[in-house]
């Protein structure tokens, strides 16, 4: 018995479409991640990673660094602050801003998320060799470099 592969192929028009492919890869990543953690933790990871790498940031700066909307950053920070993973305090130098800082809990949470993310990443890229992974990363980076991260 040939163990028939019952996975029908998508139309050629779509298979050749980078935006379609990227979308599939993206939702695949979300699916793999969701098997291990609450899906919304992806956004937490991004924000915490930015804080860890750049030090304290204002909410608007976080948004610019990550290509996220100010409003959405606010929501993520509400979650994180409630769980004591970030601190939020008005900037004495510019009282429009909030200075967001990483707490000890936040750092521990970030480490945990990093582990899961690494595993997911490896699952996602199973089919690719190390060289191919580097190629893919470089190509995507080059593609993204030509565009503004934010809409407006």
Partner DNA sequence: GTGCTACGTTGGCCAAACCAACGTTGGTTT
Partner DNA sequence: AAACCAACGTTGGTTTGGCCAACGTAGCAC
3-state secondary structure the chain: CCCCCCCCCCCHHHHCCHHHHHHHHHHHHHHHHHCCCCCCHHHHHHHHHHHHHHCCEEHHHHHHHHCCCHHHHHHHHHHHHHCCCEEEEECCCCCCCEEEEECHHHHHHHHHHHHHHHHHHHHHCCCCCHHHHHHHHHHHHHHHHCCCCCCC
71 binds its own copies (CB under 8 A): no
Considering the complex, state which of residue 130 and residue 151 has its C-beta at the smaller distance from DNA: 151
Q: How far is the CB of 102 from its own copies (least distance, A)?
A: 12
Q: Lay out the site mask for its own copies across 10-49 (x = CB under 8 A, - = otherwise).
A: xxxxxxxxxxxxxxxxx-xxxx-x------------x--x
Using CB under 8 A, which of the segments 69-77, 83-91, 92-100, 122-130 binds its own copies? 122-130
Residue 50: CB minimum distance to its own copies, A: 5
Exposed / middle / buried, residue 96 (Cβ in 10 Å: 0-12, 13-18, 19+):
exposed
User: Does 117 sit near DNA (CB under 7 A)?
Assistant: no
13 is a site residue for DNA (CB under 7 A): no
Rule CB under 8 A: say whether 97 interacts with its own copies. Answer: no
- Contacts with DNA by CB under 7 A lie at 23-24, 26-27, 30-31, 38-40, 42-43, 58-61, 63, 68-72, 74, 77-78, 88, 94-98, 150-152
């Amino acid at each position: 018995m040939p163990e028939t592969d019952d996975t029908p192929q998508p139309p050629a028009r779509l298979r050749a479409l980078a935006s379609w492919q990227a979308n599939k890869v993206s939702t695949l990543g979300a699916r793999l991640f969701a098997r291990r953690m609450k899906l919304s933790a992806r956004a937490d990871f991004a924000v915490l990673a930015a804080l860890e790498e750049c030090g304290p940031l204002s909410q608007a700066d976080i948004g610019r660094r990550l290509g996220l909307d100010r409003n959405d950053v606010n929501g993520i920070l509400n979650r994180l602050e409630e769980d004591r993973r970030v601190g939020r305090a008005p900037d004495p130098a510019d009282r429009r801003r909030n200075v967001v800082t990483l707490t000890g809990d936040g750092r521990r949470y970030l480490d945990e998320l990093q582990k899961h993310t690494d595993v997911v990443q490896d699952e996602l890229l199973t089919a690719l060799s190390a060289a191919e992974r580097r190629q893919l990363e470089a190509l995507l980076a080059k593609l993204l470099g030509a565009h503004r991260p934010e809409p407006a």
